[in-house]
Amino acid sequence: MRAKTEDKAQAEKTNITLKLDRELLKKMKILAATRGMSISALVTIQIEELVKREGGYEQAMKRSVARMKKGLNLGWEKPASRDELHERKILR
């Protein structure tokens, strides 16, 4: 039963080709080996984290825009007339 699950998970993945600097690739191999994983797994984890962060940013942006559209109640009331708007009680 487990083999079918692994086959299904493998079938959902797609291969990509990357061009990397030799020195960067060498460092990636060392990093992946020290973490006990493949380069593919290392890259996958990093891309997943990047996509997750970006998704969080987009959600926060949507919430902020919604709050701005709704506005804040600052207790201001529209004056009845132009004179009332320009009236300065403090100066009189």
Tracing tokens 């083999």 back to the chain, one arrives at 3
What confidence tens digit (pLDDT) does each residue in 5-27 have? 555 556 688 999 999 999 999 99
- 24-48 pLDDT, tens per residue? 999 999 999 999 999 999 999 999 9
Output DSSP code: residue 37.
S
The CA distances from residue 16 to 28, 43, 44, 71, in Å, are 17, 11, 11, 46
* Per-residue pLDDT, 89: 67
- The values of phi and psi at residue 14, to 5°, are -130, 140
The pair of three-digit structure tokens given for residue 27, joined into one six-digit string? 């460092």
The amino acid occupying position 81 is S
Distance CA(71)–CA(40), nearest Å, equals 46
> Residue for token digits 């020290």?
34
